[in-house]
Amino acid sequence: MPSLDLMTLSADARAYLIPMGGVREPGAAGWRLGSSGLRYPLARLIVRLDRDRVVDRILPVAEVEALAMPDAMRARVEALKAGLAAPRVPLTLEGGRMLAMTRPLVMGILNVTPDSFSDGGKHLDPEAAIAAARAMRAAGADIIDVGGESTRPGAKPVWEGEEAERILPVIRALAGDGTPISVDTRHASVMEKALAAGAHIINDVSALTHDPEALRIASESTAPVILMHAKGEAADVPDYDDLLLEVFDFLEARIDACVAAGIARERIVVDPGIGFGKAVLKDNLALMNNLALFHTLGVPLLVGASRKRFIGAATGVEEADKRLAGSLAAATHAAAQGTHILRVHDVAETVEAMKLAQAFHDAAMMDVPMEDD
């Protein structure tokens, strides 16, 4: 394999790192994800110039560290490594409650809408929505994500006042229960009202770009913020020159914008937006197989693959609410790559799957022979 000559590359060349080969074995070598037990012995080094990948090579991490490269590229590689290694501190909610990142957190989806893609209409009545949320909480959900506007392809925009009317009674009831709540909205006025009603987290599919006031509302609050990538409107499947790197660039830029607006980095979570403005199968599989790329952003990672169309495309299961097996496979795959929050419809089943995955890990750790003192 020819050696890499990075010193001749233009100053405009941009480096990316995808940690690879993640292992959780005691004593394993490699770059570590935060304070977790996940280490990566390999990294895929990509260097992009304009629209082209001029370097795309998988190397042992020690070789990446030993490569000669221009000072600016070295600084970026070190920043990406630091992002991977940065501890994922607990999300601090209003009132002092903390959500630790020591295991994958399960976020239960509560669509208070008539037209969401898999459960539209089931929870439009506030009492039905509250009961469903309480059942998810009893089943082990760490967070309930309450939304009043469908963002499925073809969905009609909802007036902000109607969106708020749908969700506020539900949020007030759940806040009274002490339930951690995220509000799934792209509208600043709805964010503000939801936070006042007791919501703790802002989850915006537009990463605070849809509403000019959203960034201000988020920065003036103390709420954690989930920034999701979505290109175009809900019905669009845009073209990408390089999907993976463009999603990364967008999220990196949105983190920088939030930090510049006064939102502490410790309050930020990113979501690559599985199923939002991506080709049904190819693009979503590329994201799901390279989730570790987003760990180099240095913030917790959320993945919402539950019941998405790409699962149907891969399995042949056309009805969204019949995609439980595929959703569990996707959640397990994401968790194995160090995902911090799983946004799901099927809470009880996902919690059970995560408990078993943790049991496998704990048993493997206990079975390692220890050296005598």
Rg of the Cα atoms in the chain: 21
The residue behind tokens 């000559």 is: 5
Neighbours of 370 (CB within 10 A): 7
CA angle (50, 56, 58) in 5-degree steps: 155
Q: Clarify whether 81 is annotated catalytic.
A: no
Of 137, 308, 309, 323, the catalytic one is 308
Q: Do strands 91-92 and 302-303 pair parallel, antiparallel, or not at all (unpaired)?
A: unpaired
Please, are residues 112 and 124 in contact by the beta-carbon 8 Å criterion?
A: yes
Residue 120 CB-density burial (10 A; 0-12 exposed, 13-18 middle, 19+ buried): middle
Helix (H) or strand (E) holding 46: strand 42-49
Q: What is the DSSP string of 333-365?
A: HHHHTT-SEEEES-HHHHHHHHHHHHHHHHHHH
Q: Nearest-CA neighbor of 311 among 278, 336, 352?
A: 278
Long-range contacts, stretch 365-370, CB < 8 angstroms, 24+ apart: 365/26, 365/37, 368/25, 368/26
Q: Clarify whether 156 is annotated catalytic.
A: no
Question: How far apart, in whole angstroms, are the C-alpha atoms of residue 46 and residue 204?
Answer: 29
Dihedral, CA atoms, 347, 353, 355, 359, nearest 10 degrees?
A: 180
Long-range contacts, stretch 36-41, CB < 8 angstroms, 24+ apart: 36/88, 36/338, 37/361, 37/365, 38/338, 40/84, 40/292
Q: Nearest-CA neighbor of 80 among 35, 17, 19?
A: 17
Q: Which residues contact 56 (CB under 8 A, 6 or more apart)?
A: 44, 45, 46, 47
Catalytic residues, by residue number, are 308, 343
